[in-house]
Structure 1
């Protein structure tokens, strides 16, 4: 008599029995072949992405620090600083003050506040514009009357109302240093330079563990990807803020368009296809404010991913038809399709149950097993890149170790990227801004401010996918498929983490809308010393505290006591 199956393998055996009874052998073989083919193709593509990250990381280790750059002492060119703003009551005044304080001869300097706001941001900016006009700054408060074209439309409208030769652009959450133009304008002495890009810093990096992870992401982009691409002569993207454009390059490249949600990436690629070059200044840092919650981050990543895919659809043809060298074309392709890693990983996750049911009773073919193992090895390439980025920033290497959680967050965002990919098949789209709250240090409160929106139904889908991935884990372990177990565990952790943080956002905002629930929450937080960040997010449910106060008021600094 056969021995009873081991308790740990009971579930796997039941699945095998059901599979044997329900799936015809020929049909099962066909499904297995298709599954293995899909996994093989996606593994090759992921391997290519990972191998390129390893290449960029290794090249970054050989980059020398940029030499000291002398400040430009003469100022012959007229400069216009554009500030595209939409409903930014908490940070609008800060960026306007910083822009008006930039060191440049006043007779060749102007500031355009491109204000499409429909809330009290308009009054805040109007008062501050009047203040700087009294101090002799040529600053204009530009109101279009609509949001046609969103940010691209505002920038294009402003360009038509200035004759400046250089156009500096800052988003509302940035704080440019006073010597920004002195640092950047010298690059335009080279007539082939179309735009200059500075590196992003972080005002609120220390606010929470989540803002630290975001800072690692951004540091990797600027200190590894952008640095290597610039040094190697590959295409470099303008990142939408903290940069300066030559007016002639904008006009020659067709100007700003709202055909994509990443007008910055679109224009920078079109300019470089026209022969203009980019200058990346790694040592010039312009700090910006990071989103303080997973909800705001999801919204931001959705827009960036949609825009990147839209640019890929529009520009990959011209890139490959251009006369640029092959390496430049390959790097441009990988760059434009970088958000495709998430959908590829999600496709693999969907294939795992079928693989276990059709092939799991036998050993996975060694070719596929080796491919998965190799893919797992290459998967650590982003982690190495994050570590190198921190060392290039002048920090100890171990400050990049927590970036392992960046990959967990990335796995949890893969559904969001799938939705973004589907949206990219439409031209343009709605530009959903990422709300900012003037957060600059740990402990600042913003939960009862405006722009707080929660309740995105995608969190439910992420939770379902997380539970599905979690259910694969014990089956894979029981069938001795360790690699599949590792991948499934990564997805389960990522999806459930992202969904849980979204749920925390919703619960805390709802708690703040009810005084007695707010008091209970504050007592719990005080007793445990726990502070869980939440943030604005487009979704089903919109909640705004009735006792809202302006930034810096006691109602915000001491919200538990006020409740």
Structure 2
């Protein structure tokens, strides 16, 4: 089931044009003045994102987003719900996941739970069959080599879904018992198309990388998602611990199997059709963070490739859309550019290096701006990270590790730049499964190898 992805602009004509304009400008103004113009352009982008970060921090520290708008009016709404969990080579986590699904507190006659074993080569299918037996959980076995990654597995199960609302969890997630109702209640409002809950990391102590991911999630959900929700009513549907109307999903052709970030794709398709995406911080589940730099790179590279693709697919449609306000279009554009800003930061770092080495001579009057550049580059993200810690009351335990976000920032620059170049030259890329850890041995790599397989659904 294909979702009808919007076509990306063909060719590299725009890149050739941009290179020509830069060459011509450099020839007229000189390399130094060209560097200053590029530097000021990057500074302007940094300033815009800094103001955005500051607005999110101010909004989330002043107002609560716990239940979302009108939460008290939705207490009596109990729609039928289908929970979908795609599983590919998940033997390390699948037993804990099934146990958590069995504790979901929702009327059983209105709840359907489907786990999709997606062509696994390990014991995932066997473990699902054994532990789901007698629980009311349906296990579907998708043949190997079907393609489509996580989206393909979800679309395979969607044909069996009976609920008015579809909720998705990943195999490493452990939803809290009340999460289904907390997500589903928002659909009492017919303008709501999807709802995102709060994801927490349960293995933050497994390794320094896992601890950094834990802090990143705190900032992402407690500040970024909350800020987008409070200011613009435009939080992102995050792909797990999230709910969507089944009729909207079906009418759109299901999840997009041509992208590796089906969540961003669906967020944009719903927003362009005029539906709200809400955020509910009381709908909590826990997930596993990657524990090594290698797995971190693979996971974030996938996010970058998919998000950058969404920019190419939807940038024009956003500004042509008549349902969105101007501020909504501006925020959506900035949301789509999130994985492009590290690329611009890398370009700024290159300019700084050339200036330091004397390869590019810049007017001394701009020397002070170099300091401002690096201040803005880090201050916005650190505001979010610090605010996330404050809101979660975990400052004392985690504040010391914030310094490691500086080298991780440059890791982000490198992986986003690689993703941008690979996307520009249309290098083939398919779903990459996130590696899991063996239960009882935090931080140890799973015996399941993360495979570059389009059938993976992790």
- TM-score, scaled relative to structure 2: 0.84
- In the alignment, the residues of structure 1 paired with residue 209 and residue 413 of structure 2 have an alpha-carbon distance, to the nearest angstrom, of 18
Contact 2:79 2:185 survives alignment (8 Å): no
Partner of 1:432: 432
Which SS does the other structure have where 1:382 is aligned?
helix
Are 1:451 and 2:454 counterparts?
no
Offset at residue 212 of structure 1 (A): 1.6
- In the alignment, the residues of structure 2 paired with residue 400 and residue 28 of structure 1 have an alpha-carbon distance, to the nearest angstrom, of 49
Offset at residue 357 of structure 1 (A): 4.7
Offset at residue 316 of structure 1 (A): 1.3
Contact 1:260 1:428 survives alignment (8 Å): no
- In the alignment, the residues of structure 2 paired with residue 445 and residue 439 of structure 1 have an alpha-carbon distance, to the nearest angstrom, of 9
- In the alignment, the residues of structure 2 paired with residue 235 and residue 52 of structure 1 have an alpha-carbon distance, to the nearest angstrom, of 14
Partner of 2:101: 99
Quick one: structure 1 residues 421 and 171, their matched pair in 2 at CA, closer, same or farther if it must change by over 3 Å? same
Contact 2:219 2:385 survives alignment (8 Å): yes
Offset at residue 75 of structure 1 (A): 6.9
Contact 2:125 2:141 survives alignment (8 Å): no
- How many residues of Structure 1 are paired with residues of Structure 2 in the alignment? 421
Contact 1:115 1:122 survives alignment (8 Å): yes
Which SS does the other structure have where 1:339 is aligned?
coil
Quick one: structure 1 residues 214 and 376, their matched pair in 2 at CA, closer, same or farther if it must change by over 3 Å? same
Of the three residues 104, 112, 121, the one matched with 2:124 is 121
Contact 1:216 1:386 survives alignment (8 Å): yes
Which SS does the other structure have where 2:113 is aligned?
strand
1:37-52 paired onto structure 2 within 5 Å: 37-52=37-52
Partner of 1:61: 61
**1:90-113: per-residue Cα shift (whole Å, max 9, x none)?**
001221222233122333222211
Are 1:335 and 2:335 counterparts?
yes
Quick one: structure 1 residues 372 and 435, their matched pair in 2 at CA, closer, same or farther if it must change by over 3 Å? same
Structure 1: gaps of 5 or more residues: 1-25, 453-535, 539-563
Which SS does the other structure have where 1:424 is aligned?
helix
Partner of 2:370: 372
Quick one: structure 1 residues 321 and 400, their matched pair in 2 at CA, closer, same or farther if it must change by over 3 Å? farther
Offset at residue 358 of structure 1 (A): 4.5
1:459-470 paired onto structure 2 within 5 Å: none
Which SS does the other structure have where 1:413 is aligned?
helix
Bigger radius of gyration: 1
1:302-313 paired onto structure 2 within 5 Å: 302-313=301-312
Are 1:350 and 2:350 counterparts?
yes
Quick one: structure 1 residues 293 and 190, their matched pair in 2 at CA, closer, same or farther if it must change by over 3 Å? same
Contact 1:100 1:111 survives alignment (8 Å): no
Contact 1:35 1:354 survives alignment (8 Å): no
Contact 1:72 1:183 survives alignment (8 Å): no
Partner of 1:212: 211
Partner of 2:150: 151
Offset at residue 439 of structure 1 (A): 5.0
**1:233-278: per-residue Cα shift (whole Å, max 9, x none)?**
3422111101111112213444211222100110111112111111
Which SS does the other structure have where 1:380 is aligned?
helix
- In the alignment, the residues of structure 2 paired with residue 317 and residue 27 of structure 1 have an alpha-carbon distance, to the nearest angstrom, of 32
1:160-199 paired onto structure 2 within 5 Å: 160-199=159-198
- In the alignment, the residues of structure 1 paired with residue 389 and residue 412 of structure 2 have an alpha-carbon distance, to the nearest angstrom, of 24
Quick one: structure 1 residues 262 and 370, their matched pair in 2 at CA, closer, same or farther if it must change by over 3 Å? same
- In the alignment, the residues of structure 2 paired with residue 268 and residue 178 of structure 1 have an alpha-carbon distance, to the nearest angstrom, of 26
* 371-380 or 79-88, larger mean C-alpha shift: 371-380
Partner of 1:266: 265
Which SS does the other structure have where 1:314 is aligned?
helix
Quick one: structure 1 residues 333 and 428, their matched pair in 2 at CA, closer, same or farther if it must change by over 3 Å? farther
Offset at residue 57 of structure 1 (A): 1.8
Query: Which structure carries more relative contact order (alpha carbon 8 Å, separation 6+)?
Result: 2
- In the alignment, the residues of structure 2 paired with residue 421 and residue 382 of structure 1 have an alpha-carbon distance, to the nearest angstrom, of 21
- In angstroms, what is the RMSD of aligned CA positions? 2.8
Contact 1:217 1:406 survives alignment (8 Å): no
- TM-score, scaled relative to structure 1: 0.69
Contact 1:249 1:276 survives alignment (8 Å): no
Quick one: structure 1 residues 435 and 221, their matched pair in 2 at CA, closer, same or farther if it must change by over 3 Å? same
Contact 1:80 1:112 survives alignment (8 Å): yes
Contact 1:91 1:173 survives alignment (8 Å): yes
